[in-house]
């Protein structure tokens, strides 16, 4: 009788623990969804007739997007030391077969990535360029696209060039006109040959309060009005050096050549405190916007001077 009672109590505790685990999982996922959307405040306003005319005479530009640690972060079930805080539920799970072995990837989407893609797809032609294997990168791109048809053009590891122990991405293979193409990537080595056509971004692993994608929206909104993206992006080459110096590289399971491992101290700082580059990123973005405004003002003033000189010469 006593043994049956003990077995009953154990069975009840086991069922209760599983129910509690399921409830905690659902609660964490809902809380994460609320956090991701509560700070979205970037609003689109109708363009003025002058802005619409400006866009009509300019070529639609191409924005190249990296995947791992830029838009998403993933780990597979064979990783001993995960880079995500234990208990954090993934946004989706991919099951792929690599070398005849089934592998599960637990994929976490960067905060506000869906909102970011919705907005920038209205401004640019989007292209996915990842150094990962196609079987994995295509599955991730399909999930991010979610049937919207905004991530149709895709480039994978076979389109990269091995260089100095990493993979570089050839932007000229995407668009011959380098004045209208630029890349958003967390790895400076990926755009080593095109520093004037790149926007660096902090590597993301699991911070639910990350707003790096939102911070880029004002810059991307303004950049589409320029005739040559390099005229603006080339002014912030110091930012690339800052990323190379401070941003700790990371080895993704499918990009092992590209990055070295991440230290435990860096991970703990990401879990507990804001990365110091977040504030630097915001400052640099403000500088870019200011420089764009100054550039436009300088251009308008020079045009006025030229018109006056021409009038005087005619007289």
Does the structure show a pLDDT above 80 at 150? yes
Active site residue 66: yes
**What letter would DSSP give residue 94?**
E
Mean pLDDT estimate for the chain: 78
Query: Which of 26-30, 78-82, 294-298 has the highest mean predicted lDDT (pLDDT)?
Result: 26-30
* Residue 250 to residue 198: CA distance in whole angstroms: 20
Q: For 39-66, what is each residue's pLDDT tens digit?
A: 556 778 889 999 999 999 999 999 999 9
Residue 173 lies in a domain: yes
Residue 77's domain spans which residues?
A: 56-310
CATH at 212: 3.40.50.1000
Residue 3 lies in a domain: no
Q: For 257-278, what is each residue's pLDDT tens digit?
A: 333 333 333 333 333 333 344 4
Catalytic residue among 66, 114, 185, 207: 66
Q: For 221-238, what is each residue's pLDDT tens digit?
A: 999 999 999 999 988 766
Residue 181 lies in a domain: yes
Residue 94 near residue 77, CB atoms below 8 Å: no
Residue 139 lies in a domain: yes
Active site residue 68: yes
**Confidence band (pLDDT; 50, 70, 90) for 21?**
confident
What angle, rounded to 10 degrees, do the helices at 237-246 and 276-314 form?
170
Residue 8: per-residue pLDDT: 84
Computed on alpha carbons and rounded to an integer, the radius of gyration of the chain in Å comes to: 24
Residue 212 lies in a domain: yes
Residue 262 near residue 83, CB atoms below 8 Å: yes
Domain count, the chain: 1
Residue 86: per-residue pLDDT: 72
Residue 217 near residue 42, CB atoms below 8 Å: yes
Q: For 168-213, what is each residue's pLDDT tens digit?
A: 999 999 999 999 999 999 999 999 999 999 999 999 998 888 999 9
Position with higher pLDDT, 92 vs 1? 92
Residue 193 lies in a domain: yes
DSSP for 249-311, written as a single string? P--BTTBTTT-PPPPHHHHHHHHHS--HHHHHHHHHHHHHHHHHHHHHHHHHHHHHHHHHHHH
Residue 224 near residue 153, CB atoms below 8 Å: no
Helix boundaries (H) for 124-252? 134-145, 212-223, 230-233, 237-246
Sign of the C-alpha dihedral computed for residues 75, 79, 84 and 88 taken in this order: positive
Residue 116 lies in a domain: yes
* Residue 290 to residue 48: CA distance in whole angstroms: 21
**Confidence band (pLDDT; 50, 70, 90) for 93?**
very high
* Residue 21 to residue 249: CA distance in whole angstroms: 33
**Confidence band (pLDDT; 50, 70, 90) for 36?**
low
Residue 263 lies in a domain: yes
Query: Which of 3-7, 29-33, 59-63 has the highest mean predicted lDDT (pLDDT)?
Result: 59-63
Residue 239: per-residue pLDDT: 59
Of 100-104, 224-228, 268-272, 304-308, which gets the smallest average pLDDT? Answer: 268-272
**Confidence band (pLDDT; 50, 70, 90) for 82?**
low
Dig out the tokens for 78 from the structure.
């064979």
């Amino acid at each position: 009788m006593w043994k049956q009672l003990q077995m009953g109590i154990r069975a009840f505790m086991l069922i209760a623990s599983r129910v509690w685990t399921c409830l905690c999982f659902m609660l964490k996922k809902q809380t994460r969804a609320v956090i991701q959307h509560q700070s979205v405040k970037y609003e689109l306003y109708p363009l003025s007739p002058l802005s619409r005319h400006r866009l009509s005479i300019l070529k639609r530009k191409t924005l190249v997007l990296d995947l791992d640690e830029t838009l998403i972060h993933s780990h597979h079930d064979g990783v001993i030391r995960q880079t995500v805080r234990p208990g954090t539920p993934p946004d989706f799970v991919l099951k792929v077969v690599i070398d005849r072995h089934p592998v599960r990837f637990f994929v976490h989407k960067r905060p506000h990535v869906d909102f970011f893609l919705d907005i920038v797809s209205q401004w640019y032609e989007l292209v996915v360029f990842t150094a990962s294997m196609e079987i994995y990168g295509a599955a991730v791109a399909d999930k991010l696209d979610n049937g919207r048809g905004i991530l149709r053009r895709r480039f994978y590891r076979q389109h990269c060039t091995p260089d100095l122990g990493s993979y570089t991405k050839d932007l000229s293979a995407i668009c011959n006109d380098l004045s209208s193409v630029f890349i958003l990537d967390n790895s400076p080595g990926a755009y080593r040959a095109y520093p004037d056509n790149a926007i660096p971004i902090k590597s993301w692993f699991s911070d639910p309060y990350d707003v790096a994608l939102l911070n880029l929206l004002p810059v991307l909104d303004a950049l589409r009005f320029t005739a040559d993206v390099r005229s603006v992006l080339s002014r912030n080459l110091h930012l690339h050096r800052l990323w190379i110096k401070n941003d700790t590289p990371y080895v993704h399971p499918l990009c092992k050549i590209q990055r070295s491992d991440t230290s435990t101290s860096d991970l703990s700082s990401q879990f507990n405190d804001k990365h110091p580059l977040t504030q630097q990123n915001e400052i640099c973005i403000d500088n870019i916007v200011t420089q764009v405004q100054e550039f436009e003002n300088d251009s308008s003033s020079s045009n006025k001077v030229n018109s006056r000189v021409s009038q005087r010469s005619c007289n």
